[in-house]
Amino acid sequence: MLDPLIEPLEFAFMQRALIAACLAAVACAMVGAFVVLKGLAFMGDAVAHSSLTGMATAYALGGSILWGALAWVVPASLVITFVSRRANVMLDTSIGIIYASGFALGVIIIGQSSNYAVDLFGFLFGNVLGASWGDIYIVGGVAGVIAIVIFAFYKELIFTSYDSTMATVSGAPTRLIEYLIPLLIGVTTVVALQTVGIVLLLALLITPAATARVLARRFPAMMAAGVGFGLVSTITGLYLSYHLNLATGPAIALVSTGLFALALAFSPTGGLGLLRKRRV
């Protein structure tokens, strides 16, 4: 009876995919908690899209695509914050500029590259079945750094996200946090690139955290529940993709969305509250 669950794991590529996808789910859900509360979904989407430049450059030069993406997202996410602070434009304006220019540059580089990049399309929509151990080490290392940074700056991240004015008055390093959050988002996109790809990143970054937001009362529970929903989504999505022969990234994205819809429908407090008792 457990065969459908065990059988796929006999393949080494499925084992690797499962590990890579779970690492991505955990990192995304942790960072996603802040993204959802601060309303920074657009920033996540933009950094992911702009990372095409880094990936395309690395590919054209024959290097690792993940390292290329990482090398791009770090300066890109810092520039977004810097531009919005200095140029007196709204944050989402500077995000939009990076989004379009990074994606455009990436497409041009791909077009110029002589070896037409088939697996770059894997990075648009995810190709976690192709994850190598080398990829997993990078993804695992980056995810580990993300988790450590979040635990180290946990109270500053919460304080600044909740009330940055008061955080500044108390002497918290709000300037640092202001740059740290976009940086975390940027680096997280690298972790998730193989699992859901550039285009579907938000399905792992936003949706599990949003599901948790609907159900959880306090922040720690929200972050933990988000990790749980992220893991359930990726694991379920992977199995569905194996048995039904679906593309993995979209399968994960849709499972994640399904969980959100369920949470919305049956939330005891928020959402549509289908199970809530009606008050007369």
Residues that bind other proteins (CB under 8 A): 37, 152-153, 155-156, 158-159, 161-163, 165-173, 213, 216-219, 222
User: DSSP secondary structure string, 20-46?
Assistant: HHHHHHHHHHHHHHHHHHHT-HHHHHH
Q: Where are the alpha helices (DSSP H) in the chain?
A: 3-6, 12-38, 41-50, 52-60, 65-86, 91-112, 118-125, 133-152, 154-162, 164-169, 174-196, 201-205, 207-215, 219-244, 248-266
Task: For residues 120 and 59, give the distance between their C-alpha atoms in angstroms, rounded to a whole number.
Answer: 8
Min separation Cβ 251 and other proteins, Å? 30
Phi-psi region of 126 (alpha: psi -120 to 50; beta: other; left: phi over 0): left
Give, in degrees to the nearest 5, the angle at Cα 155 between 151 and 157.
85
In the bound state with other proteins, the residue whose beta carbon lies nearer, of 10 and 277, is 277
- Least distance from C-beta 148 to other proteins, angstroms? 11
Nearer to other proteins by Cβ, of 172 and 205: the residue is 172
Nearer to other proteins, 155 or 243 (CB): 155
Smaller CB distance to other proteins: residue 65 or 216? 216
DSSP state for residue 217 in the 8-state scheme: S
Instruction: State the nearest-atom distance from the C-beta of 1 to other proteins, in Å.
Output: 39
**Rounded least distance, CB 159 to other proteins, Å:** 5
Of residues 196 and 215, the one with the C-beta less far from other proteins: 215
Say how far apart CA 38 and CA 160 lie, in whole Å. 10
Q: Which is nearer to other proteins, 95 or 215 (CB)?
A: 215
Q: Residue 22: which of 147, 240, 191 has the closest Cα?
A: 191
- For the bound state, the minimum distance from the C-beta of residue 161 to other proteins, rounded and expressed in Å, comes to 8
